[in-house]
A and B are shown apart, each in its own frame.
Chain A
Amino acid sequence: MIYKSNYLSKELRQGYTENRIGIKRKIAFALFLGLISFAIFFLLQTVRQSVLSDTIPEVLQPSYFSTMYIYIHIALVFNTLYFIIYYESLFFDEIKRNSWYLLVKMGYNPVVMIFSKLFALLVSIVFIYSIGFAFTFFLTVFLKYYLVLAYFPALYLTGLIDLIIIATISMIISLFIKTVTNARYFISFSIVLLMLLKKLSGHYTVLSNRVSMQYLYNLFDLNRTKFLPIATIIILICVFVGITRARNISKYYNLPYDSYDDVLPSDVKVMVTDVRTGLKKSIDNSERIARRGKILDVAFTTFLVLFIIAVLSFNVVILVINASTFGREFSVRGVIPYIFKSSSMEPAIMLNDLAYFKKLEDDDNINVGHIILFEEDNTNYVERVFDITRDTTGYTFHVDIDNYPPMSQPEAMVKAVSRDMVIGIYSSRNRWLGALILFANTIFGRLFFLLIPGILLFYYKPITEKLSRKT
């Protein structure tokens, strides 16, 4: 076999060993993205009857729009992970490792290499993204939803632009950030900034609207969203700065920040006087850079620990709420959390909301308009007080539900409740916690909330060690 690699083919294979393997891995990755998007679509269907149906209806609709909408976000998150994992091969970090210095000495043209690298990166992104997009579409065909082709171009374009932005920002990061660990943190952070930019520029308003996405020009309508011009400017600046910087530094030998670690005893300090400032500084940069990296490491570790604690605490809460049965309602400081499994009190309390009831004390008054939790024939009811009468035995509260389902008999749920039957008075609700508990009670939710903290607890050390690894 004669090896005839050129720079472009080397780039197209990315971090893999052979071109063929590189293409196979990319296809496998794209199919994985499609599958995971489809799985998440189904997962979200389990929490459809929750606050999510009001806040993010675009991901819960039984349509192609929802599966493709989920796909473009999954593609963004997983491609960013891909960039982070293969950072050293995909971006300009190899210039800092002096790989280009050697190639320039061997006759390679740095400008050609820069464009080859950018081209290969773009081709790979488009290849993976397009296959994943097509595969998600193919999977959705089996659901037999009504096919509207009009919003596909806009969805495809939006997802692709997101990926190009993250790729170009990662490229810039690779040229300016000295250590691989720090660069990885910055790439992770850039995805948050991108989401924020999309929110602030009104892009999500257009993107989440199935009707407006049927017209591609809506993405370019500055009255609706300014995201695309901003994204274009970001991409152009990143590419221009990247090309200029890469061209300059590839011709020089770049000293690694820790180049003297192995040759300088730890008790010997070597200083140099800065010509411009006259200040003396140590030539050993590794300590300073390690200190900077340590801040990010500490932040990440703190986040990880807080996440594990939060998830574990949440598990405990779920278990307690689920264990709470009739006659044994648990309360925290006089508040009874109650998962509302009915639409009878809509809109005050929606289906699957987590409603809070104040435990009834002797001095508490119940007035007309209050929603109360009461017990009758060993069953709990939640209804609104519409009248109060008083006789010799005491007060009687006349209650009814707010929302009768269509075709049902009105006033069928009207009840007369004595004070000793009342358990609590409705005080507030939390729709998001309700949705979270609903999710936690599904099989996936159980896996997510029990397995993930378990895995993190066991593999916490290897994860942090991997992230803290030196360049």
Chain B
Amino acid sequence: MKRSKKKQRQLKLSAVETVLQMEGLSSKEYFHLEDTDQGPQRVLMDINLTVKRSESWGIYGRSAFDIKLLLEIIANIKPYHGGRCVLVELGMMRSKRVILEHVFYIGGSTMLYNNMNVLEYLMFATAKQKFDSVYRQESIFEFLINVGLGHISLTPIRMLTKEEKAVITLLAAAYSNSIITVFNVPEYQFNETLSLAIGKISKLITKKKNALILGTKNPFLIENACSHTAYITDGELIYKGLVKDLRLDYDMILFIIKDKNAADMLQSLADRLPGHELSIDGDRLLISDRGGAKSDPLQLYETIIEAGFAPQCIKVNPKTVQNAYEEIGRLHDLQKQLPQQGAPAGVH
């Protein structure tokens, strides 16, 4: 009887497409601002977000605390103040925590047992799966090698960094039957190897028609591991959508010119490239689109030669999440400043 009920529930859950729906959600927490005239300011306000199966979301933001709190509310670790939060068609109560069988939350790196090695732990964690242990160990070991973590597969867990431990925890979560995995460690600094590993684990999760929501301050990680992304700043989601769209729509940089005379080049090219915005980033000159300019590399090259420069390297910008988010952040800051500047003139 109990088993058939469980089966029915699993069938019901497997039919659910939208795994997370947040509407107008606000947090209970607010910033206590001393020495200002402003009243208490809620950390999160009017959050709307929908996550579907097979999607992997990267929640990006300037403040790791904002990201962490949002993902804690999503996983029902923290209560919320207002709005609505539905998790796999189960409405979350505002104040009370409930046991969520289908949500796997990772908020740190302390879950693993330090007296086991990585492969041993993963075998231990997956022991309840009804697969032959030889086959299971072989497939886990192969997967570890595939994601680029083969070198730590036999390392005792106590010798791993907290970032490596978090990735191993995520890998264990990928082997679970959880519909949503929340990977909430925005304070961790993942190197390239680990970011790529997270990307491959993310693919494993989405391949199983489950969803991954990860919080990070690392745009490279979003680029590698996520199909969707959202940008949270000042307690609000100012962008949400596909990573692909974000890069195309918001990364305005067309070309990157690397040269030691980048500053001189900027002055000479400013007039020759109308509709473009030129900026300096170290020894790189960034040429961005500001008004529908054509992005013809040949034409640009000719213009530079005409100006009397022979740059070391000209690169067509591959469109990155980092550039896109920098642009969104810049626009957001501008928008915030505009009403303040306009108010004295009475523009409303």
Contact = CB atoms under 8 A, between A and B. Distances in A.
A17 B117 CA distance: 9
A73 interface: no
A4 interface: yes
A252 B97 contact: yes
Given A102-B111, A259-B107, A5 B124 contact: yes
Interface string A252-272: 110110011011100011111
B73 interface: no
Interface string B188-203: 0000000000000000
B31 A106 contact: no
Given A98-B111, A256-B110, 19 more contacts: A2-B137, A3-B124, A3-B133, A4-B127, A4-B133, A17-B116, A97-B110, A99-B111, A105-B173, A105-B176, A106-B126, A106-B128, A106-B129, A106-B176, A253-B105, A259-B107, A263-B65, A270-B31, A270-B32
Contacts of A106: 125-129, 172, 175-176
Contacts of A282: 32
A251 B103 CA distance: 11
A89 B115 CA distance: 9
B137 A260 contact: no
A263 B68 contact: yes
Nearest to B120: A3
B320 interface: no
A413 B115 CA distance: 72
A262 B187 contact: yes
A312 interface: no
Question: Which 9 pairs of residues, A with B, have the shortest CB-CB distance?
Answer: A107-B128, A263-B64, A3-B123, A97-B110, A269-B32, A262-B187, A3-B120, A263-B65, A102-B111
Nearest to B126: A106
A102 to B, nearest CB: 5
Q: Is chain A's binding surface mostly helix, strand, loop or mixed?
A: loop
Nearest to B40: A271
Contacts of B119: 3
A99 B113 contact: yes
Nearest to A261: B187
Interface string B105-146: 101101111011001100111111100011001000000000
A283 B123 contact: no
Given A102-B111, A103-B125, A273-B28, A5 B65 contact: no
B186 to A, nearest CB: 7
B169 interface: yes
Contact of B65 (A108, A253, A270, A271): A270
Interface string A223-251: 00000000000000000000000000001
Interface of A: 2-6, 10, 13, 15-17, 89, 94, 97-99, 101-103, 105-108, 251-253, 255-256, 259-260, 262-264, 268-273, 275, 280, 282-283
B110 A263 contact: no
A101 B104 CA distance: 9
B128 A272 contact: no
A345 B313 CA distance: 104
Contacts of B30: 270-272
B173 A99 contact: no
26 contacts: A2-B123, A4-B123, A5-B120, A10-B113, A15-B115, A97-B110, A98-B110, A99-B110, A99-B113, A102-B104, A102-B172, A102-B173, A108-B128, A251-B99, A253-B77, A256-B110, A259-B107, A262-B187, A263-B64, A263-B65, A263-B67, A263-B187, A269-B31, A269-B34, A270-B30, A272-B29
A17 B154 CA distance: 12
A59 B128 CA distance: 52
Interface of B: 28-32, 34, 40, 43, 63-65, 67-68, 72, 75, 77-78, 95, 97, 99, 104-105, 107-108, 110-113, 115-116, 119-120, 123-129, 133-134, 137, 156, 169, 172-173, 175-178, 186-187
A269 B99 CA distance: 30
Given A17-B115, A99-B111, A253-B77, A10 B172 contact: no
Contact of A259 (B108, B111, B169, B173): B108
A252 B72 CA distance: 12
A252 B123 contact: no
A6 B64 contact: no
Contacts of A252: 97, 99
Contacts of A263: 63-65, 67-68, 186-187
B104 to A, nearest CB: 5
A5 B116 contact: yes
Contact of B43 (A4, A262, A270): A270
Given A17-B156, A102-B169, A106-B175, A260 B65 contact: yes
Contact of A102 (B120, B125, B137, B156): B125
B108 A260 contact: no
B176 to A, nearest CB: 5
A272 B94 CA distance: 14
B107 A5 contact: no
Scoring B63, B112, B115 by chain A CB atoms within 10 A of each residue's CB, the highest score goes to B115
Nearest to A253: B105
B144 to A, nearest CB: 13
Contacts of B29: 270-272, 283
A260 B172 contact: no
B225 to A, nearest CB: 20
B108 A275 contact: no
Given A2-B134, A89-B115, A103-B125, A264 B65 contact: yes
A409 B172 CA distance: 88
B120 A255 contact: no
A265 to B, nearest CB: 8
A105 B104 contact: yes
A245 to B, nearest CB: 15
A97 B107 CA distance: 10
Scoring A4, A13, A98, A253 by chain B CB atoms within 10 A of each residue's CB, the highest score goes to A253
Contacts of B124: 3, 5-6, 10
B111 A97 contact: yes
Contact of A107 (B68, B75, B129): B129
A150 to B, nearest CB: 43
A273 B81 CA distance: 10
Contacts of A108: 128
Contacts of A6: 124, 127
A252 B186 CA distance: 21
A89 B116 CA distance: 12
A7 B326 CA distance: 48
Contacts of A283: 29
Nearest to B105: A253
Nearest to B187: A262
A42 B288 CA distance: 86
A99 B115 contact: no
A43 B48 CA distance: 74
Contacts of B95: 275
A106 to B, nearest CB: 5
Contacts of B63: 263
A13 B115 contact: yes
A13 B40 CA distance: 52
Contacts of B31: 268-271
Contacts of B113: 10, 94, 99
Contacts of B107: 98, 253, 255, 259
